[in-house]
Amino acid sequence: MDRIAIVGGARLNGSIPISGAKNSAIKLMAASLLTDEPLRLTNMPRLADTRFLGHLLTRLGAIIEERDTETGPETILHTPEIVSSFAPYDLVRQMRASFNVLGPLIARTGHAKVSLPGGCTIGARPVDLHLQALEALGAKIDLHEGYVYATAPRGLRGAEIEFPFVSVGATEHAMLAAVLAKGVTVLKNCACEPEIVDLAECLTKMGAQIEGEGTTTITITGVERLHGATHAVITDRIEAGTYAVAAAMAGGEVRLTNTRADLIEALLVKIEEAGAEVERTNDGVVIRRNGARLKAVDVDTGVYPGFATDLQAQFMALMTLADGESVIREHIFENRFMHAPELARLGADIAVSGGEARVRGVEQLEGAPVMATDLRASVSLVIAGLAARGETIVSRVYHLDRGFERLEEKLGACGANVRRIKGEAVPEIGE
Ligand SMILES: CC(=O)N[C@H]1[C@@H](OP(=O)(O)OP(=O)(O)OC[C@H]2O[C@@H](n3ccc(=O)[nH]c3=O)[C@H](O)[C@@H]2O)O[C@H](CO)[C@@H](O)[C@@H]1O
Ligand SMILES: C=C(OP(=O)(O)O)C(=O)O
């Protein structure tokens, strides 16, 4: 298993191009199952998660071609025929979003057998809302031995569905099924995340009829069939936010390009409150910090446009060096503070109680061996390592590789001392 070594102390100066969003790309890849024509996705991130999902889609009948073009990486997904409606445990357990093949499989073939999903262990993460939405659309769902068995022999029918609380994955899953259902579907209390808007825009290019994406009510008029399209994956706001925090932590001046400041406004306001300078540009954002000490700032995670839970660990790393006490409350996932004890190994002073963490800033962190526990937790340890005295070695970085493309290269180009220590290969899923 690879590890990442960081020697702290270097300021960051330079430019970082932000990749396409993992959390959008994987849903768009699932959407490709809805048509027998090719879907061409540009601005595609090359990540462990997109690779794993590629293995699953190939098993279901997709032909996938990855290209590096002058305008960037792209992937063409073409599923002329669904050759199997079975998504096995080994190909679904690694990543939550693999479960999103269930809706498209039912919509296209009328039946599916899909393993219950995995993903970051940041809470219980049930899929009850996904299944309730599919049932409301006319699917018959049974659960046996860790698998969802779904049938809809007469096809899916439009319905009115009100989610009892906001779920990104359930909103997307319902959209993926409803686009081919007969009649009109009205989804209420939907998530408004930018990745949902991106999915709606791609599905619309494929011929779907969708209104209201980005608001809490989405109306979908089902169509008989969808066709091929070309779509650019939206910028990864979590990657952008992560490097914004890294720049604030290490100091210096970092320009983030190929992204949108408006998508991380809730974070940028907090970075400004903490004392770093933020300049919103046409294609991203510039973060500057001189040597002055950061100030403690409180944060509450929330649904979009609130402060993203996927940036909470990174912000906690930043607060470990702030002057004063910062209170960080996690409202989305019940177990998303696993980075706290690892940050403590570097000298951070953090007290966790339920969904609240109190971070009392210290003058200096010191490098130490630490362990990545999930995707965003792992990058928070890298961020802390950038400002720690001496060397920090982060193990289990396969978590990080799920969602950060060429991290060492991107940080290294700005002067960070970050290198990968190659270890034994982790067996690749599906191989
Ligand atoms: C691959 C992907 O896009 N992952 C993102 C997605 O996860 P994901 O789609 O899993 O997150 P949700 O918005 O669904 O989860 C929100 C909350 O609802 C709960 N819940 C969800 C579904 C359900 O059927 N039942 C239920 O109880 C979850 O356990 C959680 O407590 O949105 C999260 C919230 O922005 C992000 O942190 C993840 O990075
Ligand atoms: C939690 C995440 O991913 P997943 O939902 O696949 O676990 C994430 O992207 O931060």
Give this complex's ipTM.
0.98
Q: Is the CB of 93 under 6 A from ligand 2?
A: no
Atom 10, ligand 2: residue with shortest CA distance: 310
φ, ψ dihedrals at 43, nearest 5°: 55, 40
Gap between the Cα atoms of 130 and 249, Å rounded: 38
- Ligand 1 centroid to Cα of residue 341, in Å, is 24
Atom of ligand 2 nearest to the CA of 120: 7
Lowest mean pLDDT among 40-44, 203-207, 426-430: 426-430
Name the active-site residue from 120, 190, 192, 202.
120
Q: Which of 414, 413, 417 is nearest to 389 (CA)?
A: 417
Atom of ligand 1 nearest to the CA of 238: 39
Per-residue burial over 151-189, b = 16 or more CB atoms within 10 Å of its CB, e = otherwise = bbeeebbbbebebeebbbbbbbbbbbbbbbbbeebbbee
Instruction: Give the tokens for residue 413.
Output: 């180009």
Q: Which residue has the higher pLDDT, 92 or 222?
A: 222
Determine whether domain 3-18+235-421 maps to CATH 3.65.10.10: yes
pLDDT, residue 427, reads: 56
- How would you write the chain as a 3-class SS string? CCEEEEECCCCEEEEEECCECHHHHHHHHHHHHHCCCCEEEECCCCCHHHHHHHHHHHHHCCEEEEEEECCEEEEEEECCCCCCCEECHHHHCCCHHHHHHHHHHHHHHCEEEEECCCCCCCCCCCCHHHHHHHHHCCCEEEEECCEEEEECCCCCECCEEECCCCCHHHHHHHHHHHCCCECEEEEECCCCCHHHHHHHHHHHHCCCEEECCCCCCEEEECCCCCCCEEEECCECHHHHHHHHHHHHHHCEEEEEECCCHHHHHHHHHHHHHCCCEEEEECCEEEEEECCCCCECCCEEECCCCCECHHHHHHHHHHHCCCECEEEEECCCCCCCCCHHHHHHHCCCEEEEECCEEEEECCCCCECCEEECCCHHHHHHHHHHHHHCECEEEEECCHHHHCCCCCHHHHHHCCCCEEEEECCCCCCCCCC
CATH of domain 22-232: 3.65.10.10
Q: Which of 354, 313, 277, 365 is nearest to 7 (CA)?
A: 365
Per-residue pLDDT at 16 exceeds 70: yes
**Residue 119: which pLDDT band, with cuts at 50, 70 and 90?**
low
Amino acid, single-letter form, for residue 134: L
User: What whole-number percentage of the chain has pLDDT above 70?
Assistant: 98
**Residue 430: which pLDDT band, with cuts at 50, 70 and 90?**
very low
- How far the first Cα of the chain sits from its last, in Å, is 17
Q: Any catalytic annotation for residue 120?
A: yes
- Ligand 1 centroid to Cα of residue 12, in Å, is 33
What is Dmax (Cα atoms) for the chain? 66
Lowest mean pLDDT among 64-68, 94-98, 150-154, 163-167: 94-98
Per-residue pLDDT at 428 exceeds 60: no
Where in the sequence of the chain do the CATH 3.65.10.10 domains occur?
3-18+235-421, 22-232
Q: Is the CB of 45 under 6 A from ligand 2?
A: no
**Residue 431: which pLDDT band, with cuts at 50, 70 and 90?**
very low
Lowest mean pLDDT among 54-68, 98-112, 113-127, 358-372: 113-127
CA 42 to chain centre: 17
pLDDT, residue 426, reads: 60
CA 320 to chain centre: 24
Indicate the annotated binding residues for UDP-N-acetyl-alpha-D-glucosamine: 96, 125-129, 310, 332
Q: Nearest bound ligand to CA 167? A: 1
Atom 4, ligand 2: residue with shortest CA distance: 119
pLDDT, residue 315, reads: 98
Per-residue burial over 254-287, b = 16 or more CB atoms within 10 Å of its CB, e = otherwise = bbbbbbbbebbbbbbebbeebbbebeeeeebbbb
Per-residue pLDDT at 366 exceeds 50: yes
pLDDT digit string (tens) for 313-343? 999 999 999 999 999 999 999 999 999 999 9
The mean pLDDT of 143-163, rounded to a whole number, is 95
pLDDT digit string (tens) for 226-266? 999 999 999 999 999 999 999 999 999 999 999 999 999 99
- Strand-pairing partners, residue 209, are 221
Torsion angle of C-alpha atoms 202, 199, 22, 239, degrees rounded to 10: 100
Gap between the Cα atoms of 37 and 32, Å rounded: 8
pTM assigned to the model: 0.97
Residue 327 near residue 356, CB atoms below 8 Å: yes
